[in-house]
Structures are given as C-alpha cells and as structure tokens.
Amino acid sequence: MKITILAVGKCKEKYWTMAIDEYCKRLGRYADVQIIEVADEKTPDGASEKQEEQIREIEGERLLRYIRKEAYCIALAIDGEAPDSVQLSRRMDQLAVQGNGHLMFVIGGSLGLSREVLRRADWKLSFSRMTFPHQLMRVILLEQIYRAFRISRNEPYHK
C-alpha cells in the first residue's frame, strides 16, 4: 500500500521532524510512505472572512495539483467522521480489500481546507473537534496509521 501525507506548510522544528521520521521508518514495514508539503499563505492579523476564503482557495489549488485521480483521498476535517483506532484500522483494511492501494491524507493550513479539496475528498476524517498545529497533526496522523497497521496484523502496540 502507498500512503501519502499531503500537507500545507513546512515542518521546521527538529523535534517534529524527528517524530515524523521515526513513524515513517516504522511504517516502512507496511507501506510506502511519502510526505508532500505545499506552501502556506500568510494570514494577516484581523483578516476578513473573504480574505481567509481566498487563502484557503490558494492553498487548496496547490493541494489539488498533487491529489491523484486513482488515490483514495482522506481530508482531515473537524466536521469529519471520528472513528476510534480500531475502526480506523478496519476502514483502512476495507479500503485495501476494495482495491484502494493509494491512500492520500490531506492536512490543511491554519484556516483549514478549501471547499474544492473537501469536495474532492472520498472521506472526511476528524481526530477531534479541537484544532492542532499542522506539525503535530502529522505526528498524530502517522502514529494512528502505524497503530492501524499493528491492529490489523494483531501485533502488540495498541493497548
């Protein structure tokens, strides 16, 4: 299986990159993992709703360039479905059985994802109703994907 994490913004802090690298290394036993970063737009203080929408659209266009037609696109969205770890594992197994060999997880910028990206998504996934920094969200997502593979194979880790 191929897993792509498509994210707005760069991961700059060493402690986040070390955690991301560790989970990518662990996941290498189960899947081909790739992380693609697109540039984020600076949001001015006190930006209007219209300005924020324009920023989401610009970032969304950048993301859409990388979303492959054949990939199953999973957008991380606050209003998405919120499975537990076992349910996520089962869903990933089900997708694989159905022939979805490429899962693309999309993480938006500080303002979230554009309507176009959300429309393109095959599934909207939520980890919480809270907002997380995109660097931390990458770590959480990779850890949960790793956990899902371990659960699927009845390997120790997830309890």
pLDDT at residue number 91: 98
Q: Per the domain annotation, does 158 fall within a domain?
A: no
Q: For the domain that residue 95 is a member of, what is the CATH number?
A: 3.40.1280.10
For the chain, what is the domain count?
Answer: 1
How many Å apart are CA 58 and CA 147, to the nearest integer? 33
Segment 106-111 mean pLDDT = 95
In the predicted structure, residue 146 carries a pLDDT above the cut 80: yes
Q: Which residue has tokens 């910028």?
A: 109
pLDDT at residue number 67: 97
Task: Compute the residue count for the chain.
Answer: 159
User: 141 with 105: CB under 8 angstroms?
Assistant: yes
- Distances, alpha carbon 100 to alpha carbons 46, 93, 122, 155, in Å: 42, 10, 11, 23
Q: Per the domain annotation, does 117 fall within a domain?
A: yes
How many Å apart are CA 73 and CA 40, to the nearest integer? 20
Q: Per the domain annotation, does 58 fall within a domain?
A: yes
Q: Per the domain annotation, does 88 fall within a domain?
A: yes
pLDDT at residue number 159: 57
Segments forming the whole domain that contains residue 77? 2-152
Q: Per the domain annotation, does 14 fall within a domain?
A: yes
Q: Per the domain annotation, does 80 fall within a domain?
A: yes
Instruction: Give pLDDT tens digits for 2-59.
Output: 999 999 999 989 999 999 999 999 999 999 999 999 999 999 999 999 999 999 999 9
Q: Per the domain annotation, does 41 fall within a domain?
A: yes
pLDDT at residue number 99: 94
3-state secondary structure of 102: strand
Q: Per the domain annotation, does 157 fall within a domain?
A: no
